[in-house]
Amino acid sequence: MAEERLKSALRKLFRQRQRVEQSHQQATEAGAGLDLSPRSPFDVVLDQRLKALEAQVDDLKGRVNGLVAAVVAAVVIQVVLSLFR
């Protein structure tokens, strides 16, 4: 009787350890070392606002790059025109 209980307890412990090792291995393989899922509605709203801000910054970068290209082109045109005077 005591042997059966001991064997049963050892089997249960072994199964639990296997499950823990498997879940740890799956998490490592999936790269889920950090849980980055939102924890609250505020986090979801904050994430959406940050994504919108990133999109606006990308748009602004494109506009600034366009202005820089226009200024450089104007300077090149002025230099070329001054050479032909």
Q: Which two tokens mark 71? A: 């200024």
58 or 42, which is more confident?
A: 58
Tokens 């050479």, residue located: 83
Residue 77 has pLDDT above 60, yes or no: yes
Give pLDDT tens digits for 19-57: 888 877 776 666 555 666 767 888 889 999 999 999 999
> pTM score, two decimals?
0.48
The CA-based diameter of the chain, rounded to the nearest angstrom, is: 111
**What CA–CA distance (Å, rounded) separates 83 from 85?**
6
Q: Which two tokens mark 85? A: 């005077």
pLDDT at res. 13 = 81
The per-residue pLDDT of the chain, averaged, comes to 86
pLDDT at res. 33 = 57
Side-chain half-sphere CA neighbours of 10 within 13 A: 6
